[in-house]
Amino acid sequence: MTENFDKNKGEAMAFFAHEIKNPLAVIKANVQLIELDDDGRNKKSFQAIYYEIENINLLINEAMKKAENTIIEKTSFSIIDVVRKVFDKYSRIYEREFVIDNECKYAVISGKENLIESVFENIVKNAVEATEANDEIKAEIHKRYNKIAVTISDTGKGISDGDIERAGELFYSTKKGGSGVGLFMCKRIIDQNGGRIKIGKNKPKGTKVTVELNIK
Ligand SMILES: Nc1ncnc2c1ncn2[C@@H]1O[C@H](COP(=O)(O)OP(=O)(O)OP(=O)(O)O)[C@@H](O)[C@H]1O
Ligand SMILES: [Mg+2]
């Protein structure tokens, strides 16, 4: 019920946003034509019109992005494949040792795959940012009864007790230029999927983040 409602709402929002863009483009083109006949006396007014048209366009683009997120469908997929995909992507860019140590070969979960992928992408990105070349970033996948636990550990600079407490709070970041949004989003997505995220210290060094999800 909620799922369908969200989907319809998302589609309506996307349609609405799209349908405003077209007439807006026509308005802009016509204003540009009128400006050709102007001797420059109305320059400021034309600028104000273009400025506001651009503002409306930005708002529409944002609304469309939100709508897109709302209508991503729930599917069943292999969590191990998602982790592998993220590791493949990052191992092509960064010189780290990416290791997958999966106890179970196959675990299917149900959810919005793109969102779950972005969760692991954020966690791996944090691990990359906390490590240096030749450090190890490892995924361990364990199945217990109807739950799957994916732990991403790194051998990086580690995390303090205080940061363990606060990581995942919106805008909490200890990085220069960090926005502190990554783990907040991860927690929200996993929460909505009926799972949870735990952050802790890795032994002998580094950080580990465990994502626990229900198996389908
Ligand atoms: N693997 C890790 N090792 C050490 N510290 C970590 C690790 N992962 C998260 N943290 C800590 O948690 C904080 C919050 O992480 P989060 O991903 O939410 O924000 P961020 O990485 O700082 O910014 P961004 O919004 O760009 O992701 C980080 O600033 C860092 O202090
Ligand atoms: Mg981050």
Residue 4, pLDDT score: 54
Counting ligands in written order, which one lies closest to the CA of residue 175?
Answer: 1
Q: 98-132: string of b/e by CB count within 10 Å (b at 16+)?
A: beeebeeeebebebbbebbbbbbbbbbebbbebbe
Q: Is the pLDDT of residue 183 over 80?
A: yes
Query: What does the pLDDT read at residue 8?
Result: 66
Helix (H, G, I), strand (E, B) or coil at 144: strand
161-184: average pLDDT: 93
Kind and range of the H or E run holding 29:
helix 2-36
**Lowest-pLDDT range of 30-34, 99-103, 139-143, 174-178:** 99-103
Surrounding residues of ion ligand 2, Cβ less than 5 A? 126, 182
| Beta-bridge partner residues of 213 | 148
* pLDDT, position 1: 43
Tell me, what's the pLDDT at 16? 77
3-state secondary structure 73-140: CCEEEEHHHHHHHHHHHHHHHCCCEEEEEECCCCCEEEECHHHHHHHHHHHHHHHHHHCCCCCEEEEE
The arithmetic mean of pLDDT across residues 135-164, rounded, is 96
Site to substitute for ligand 1 among 183, 186, 189, most atoms within 8 A of C-beta: 183
pLDDT value at residue 31:
95
Q: Judge if the beta carbon of residue 135 lies within 6 A of ligand 1.
A: no
Determine the atom of ligand 1 nearest the C-alpha atom of 185: 18
Integer-rounded Cα radius of gyration of the chain: 23
Phi and psi, residue 56, nearest 5°: -60, -40
Which of 90, 152, 173, 197 has the most ligand 1 atoms within 8 A of CB, as the residue to mutate? 173
Indicate the DSSP class of residue 17: H
What are the backbone dihedrals phi and psi of residue 128, each rounded to the nearest 5 degrees, phi first? -60, -45
Task: Answer for the pair 200, 208: CB distance below 8 angstroms, yes or no.
Answer: yes
Q: What is the per-residue pLDDT for 67?
A: 77
Q: Is 131 in the pocket of ligand 1 (CB under 6 A)?
A: no
Query: Which residue from 156, 211, 208, 159 is spatially nearest to 185, judged by alpha carbons?
Result: 211
Highest mean pLDDT: which range of 57-66, 70-79, 149-158: 149-158
- Comparison of pLDDT for 195 and 21, the residue scoring more: 195
The pLDDT tens digits for 62-104 are 888 877 777 677 899 999 999 999 999 999 999 999 999 977 7
Q: What is the pTM of this model?
A: 0.74
Q: What's the CA-to-centroid distance between 89 and ligand 1, angstroms?
A: 19
Closest Cα to atom 19 of ligand 1 = 180
d(CA 129, CA 162): 19
Residue nearest to atom 9 of ligand 1 (CA): 126
Higher pLDDT, 180 or 9: 180
Average predicted confidence (pLDDT) for the chain? 90
